[in-house]
Amino acid sequence: MSSGDGFVNVQGNDFYYRLFGEENRGRNVVCLHGGPGATHEYLLPMADIVQRGYMVILYDQLGCGKSQLPANPALLTIERAVEDLEVFRKKMKLGRIHLFGSSYGGLLAIAYALKYQRNLKSMITAGGLASVPLTTSEMERLKRGLPAKVQKTINDFEALGKYTDPEYLRAVDVFYRKHLCRLETWPAELKHSLEGTSATVYGTMNGPNEFTIIGNIRYWDVSRRLNEIRVPALVTGGRHDEVTPKVARQIHNGISGSKLVIFSSSSHLPMWEERTKYMRTVSRFLDEVENM
C-alpha cells in the first residue's frame, strides 16, 4: 500500500490531504469528515478498503485540522464546502469518484450529489442527514431517554447559555457515550478529531454541541429533493446513532434504489464500533458498483 500527504490550494485556501492505496486506477473514494469542524483522523479506518484495490482520499475541510482557516467566517457554509470539494476533485485529477460522508460529511455528500452527481460513481453516508430539523428533533427525543438528573443538568445549563461549564460537559459526555461512540475506550484517532475540532467552524455552522444545533446549518433540509439523486447509494447508521435510524430511513426512502444497513451494535461511528463488518459492507457495495 502506498500513501502520501500534502497540501493543495482550493479557492485561495490551503487544504491538507492524505492518500492511501494505488493511484491512477480510477477507483477513488473521497471521504468527508463530520463536525462540521472536526478533522479527518477519525475516518482512518476507511483506509482498510485499499486492500480491495481502491485509493482512499481524506482531507481536512476549510478551517479544519491542518487546512487553512479563512479570515472571513462567512465562507463557512455548506454551499462553499460543496464548491471546495468540486475544486479539490479537479485539482487532484480524481475523475468520477465514490463519495463517502460521515455525519455532517454525509450531509455534505448529499449536497454535492444534488449539484454534481455527474461526477459520482456512488455515494455512501454514515450517520448522514438530509434534514437538520428532523435530526434535531430526533436528538431531543434521545435526550429525553437520558437519566433525569443528566437531563436536568443539560437543560439548566443550556438555559443559562453555559455550554463550557465542566458539570454541563460531563452531562453531555453521557449522551456521547451512548449515541456517539459506545466503545469503552475511544480510539486515539477519534479523540484527536474531537479535541482538534475547530471551535470557529463548529460554532459558526453547528453550535455548542452535537444536539444543540443553532449555527447556520440549523434549517438545512433537502429531504424533498432526494429523488433527484440517481447514483448508486448506500445509507448506513447505527441502531443507537445520535443521527437516528429514522433519519437514515428518510435518506433511503428518498433515493430510489438505495441500500440501507443499520449496524445493531453501533451508534454514530460503525466504522470503529463494528469495524470489520462495516468495512466489509462498504467494500461489497463499492465492488458491486464497479462491476456494473
Q: Where are the domains of the chain?
A: 3-137+189-290
179 is catalytic: no
Beta bridge partners of 203: none
What pLDDT does 22 receive? 80
Instruction: Specify the pLDDT at position 1.
Output: 40
The residues near 261 (Cβ < 8 Å, ≥ 6 apart) are 234, 235, 236, 281
- Which stretches in the chain have pLDDT values below 50? 1
Beta-bridge partner residues of 29: 56, 98
CB 157 within 8 A of CB 163: yes
User: How many whole angstroms separate alpha carbon 113 and alpha carbon 95?
Assistant: 15
Give pLDDT, residue 161. Answer: 87
Q: Is 268 a catalytic residue?
A: yes
Distance CA 1, CA 262 (A): 30
What fold, for 3-137+189-290? Rossmann fold (3.40.50)
Catalytic residue, chosen from 131, 241, 252, 258, is 241
The overall pTM is greater than 0.85: yes
pLDDT of residue 24: 61
- Residue 192 appears among annotated catalytic residues: no
Q: Which of 67, 102, 103, 131 is catalytic?
A: 103
pLDDT of residue 211: 79
